[in-house]
Chains A and B, each alone.
Chain A
Amino acid sequence: MTDNGKQQMPFRLLLAVLLSTLAAGLGYAVLSLPSLAPGLSEQVAGKLETSGVSNPVTAVLLNFRAYDTLLELGVLLLALLGVWSLRGLPERRESSPGPVLDTLSRLLVPLLILVAGYLLWVGAYAPGGAFQAGSVLGAAGVLLLLAGWRPGARFAGLRLRIALVAGLGVFMGVGIMLILVGGHFLEYPPPFAAALILLIEAAATLSIGLTLAALFLGDRPETGARR
């Protein structure tokens, strides 16, 4: 190991120099910022009433910058498609869950689903929202998978795929529908903004949770048709 360490010494020195330069640059950038930078928070606060929600973060993510969130959902779906396209993954060792994990997952999964629903609902007024709720739902899925549950063939086919693309699909659908009724892409009319945001977030929560759990499972679930 010491030989290896000696060989790596110039490399490590170079790395230290580069990192110090980066740190110095970042420090300079932070210190040269004006101490009172209002940013865009005033514009957001001014338009908050028309956004349909009272939490400024959700207003930005789902209304003012909804396009970004739409693309994030697309990225998540692409990641899953990438994982599903991989062939010849090494098998994961299956281990029996044991009574503690088995019982605990039975108790925790309903609670996690409830928490996900709460986070989804509260996102309009306070910290929360689709990604947080979706990741809690995904954690419930991971817990189920760890406890030995596997999606059955009936669920793994078309239903799973529809649920996986529901978030992106509903988001796109709402955007296109708004163009058709004469607006711009994802420009919600204020009277319907709250309902549209909740609809999009509900579909997104389901899709995000399922996508994250499916990423954890790794293999493409057998649909039964191929067997």
Chain B
Amino acid sequence: METITVLQWAFDALLGAALLGLAWWLLDSAELFRAIVLFIAFGLLMALAWVRLDAPDVALAEAAIGAGLTGALLLAALARLESKNQTKTNHKDHRGTEVHDGQR
């Protein structure tokens, strides 16, 4: 019984730390594509956190809307932004590959 409690504490701590770390990382990344992928990963872990908080309804909504559809919408918006940039400056890689990664 005790080992299970310890394992649950460890899992929750890891989950919380991963969420905070992912949030920091995605806000800090200047490359939009990577930020969106990190946002989707954040949403999936957030859904897991809701399950741990005994809120499966919210977890379902978070996984489907927060991670899935919002991610798809953001990627669609990014595709439009890039096609706009591409028509302006016709010589960039399809993902605007300049990686602005000053802080890291």
Chain B 73-104 interface 0/1 with A at a Cβ cutoff of 8 Å (1 = within)? 10010011111100100000000000010110
Q: Which chain A residues in 139-160 approach chain B with CB under 8 Å?
A: 139, 142
| A158, B88: Cα distance in complex, Å | 37
A-side interface mostly = helix
Task: Choose, from A29-37, A124-132, A169-177, A179-187, the stretch at the interface.
Answer: A124-132
B residues contacting the other copy or chain, number (CB 8 A):
22
* Interchain nearest-CB distance for B87 vs A (Å): 7
Chain A stretch 95-151: residues in CB contact (< 8 A) with chain B? 119, 127-129, 131-132, 135-136, 138-139, 142
Query: How far in angstroms is the closest Cβ of chain A from B94?
Result: 8
Task: Please tell me which stretch of B1-9, B11-19, B38-46, B59-67 contacts chain A, meaning at least 4 of its Cβ atoms lie within 8 angstroms of it.
Answer: B59-67
- Residues from chain A with Cβ under 8 Å of B68 in the complex: 135, 139
Q: Could you tell me if A131 and B76 are in contact, using CB atoms closer than 8 angstroms?
A: no
Give the interface segment out of A44-52, A189-197, A211-219: A211-219
The answer, among A57, A91, A127, A216, for a CB contact under 8 Å with B83, is A91
Find out whether the CB atom of B80 lies under 8 angstroms from the CB atom of A218: yes
The number of residue pairs between A and B whose CB atoms lie closer than 8 Å in the complex comes to 58
Assuming A1-B102, A5-B103, A136-B64, is B73 touching A92 (CB within 8 A)?
no
A2 near B83 with CB under 8 A, answer no
CB distance from B64 to the nearest CB of A (A): 4
Residues 1-24 (chain A) with a chain B CB within 8 angstroms: 1-2, 4-5
Interface check B72, CB cutoff 8 A: yes
Asked if B53 is at the interface (CB within 8 A of a chain A CB), the reply is: no
Among the listed A5, A89, A91, A216, which residue makes an inter-chain contact with B72, where contact means beta carbons less than 8 Å apart?
Answer: A216
A147 CB to nearest B CB, Å:
13
Residues on A with C-beta less than 8 A from B103 are 5
A93 at the interface (CB under 8 A from B): yes
> How distant is the Cα of A195 from the Cα of B55 in the complex, in angstroms?
26
Q: How far is the CB of A86 from chain B (nearest CB, A)?
A: 11
> Which residues of A line the B interface, CB within 8 A?
1-2, 4-5, 57, 89-93, 119, 127-129, 131-132, 135-136, 138-139, 142, 212, 215-216, 218
Return 8 A-B CB contacts under 8 Å, by A number.
A90-B84, A92-B80, A127-B57, A132-B60, A132-B64, A135-B65, A212-B69, A218-B80
16 additional A-B residue pairs with CB within 8 Å, beyond A127-B56, A128-B57, A135-B65: A89-B80, A92-B83, A93-B83, A119-B60, A132-B57, A132-B61, A132-B64, A135-B61, A136-B64, A139-B64, A139-B68, A142-B69, A142-B72, A212-B69, A216-B69, A216-B73
**Chain B residues in the interface with A (C-beta under 8 A):** 56-57, 59-61, 64-65, 68-69, 72-73, 76, 79-84, 87, 100, 102-103
A-B residue pairs, 5 tightest by C-beta: A1-B102, A90-B84, A135-B64, A127-B56, A127-B57
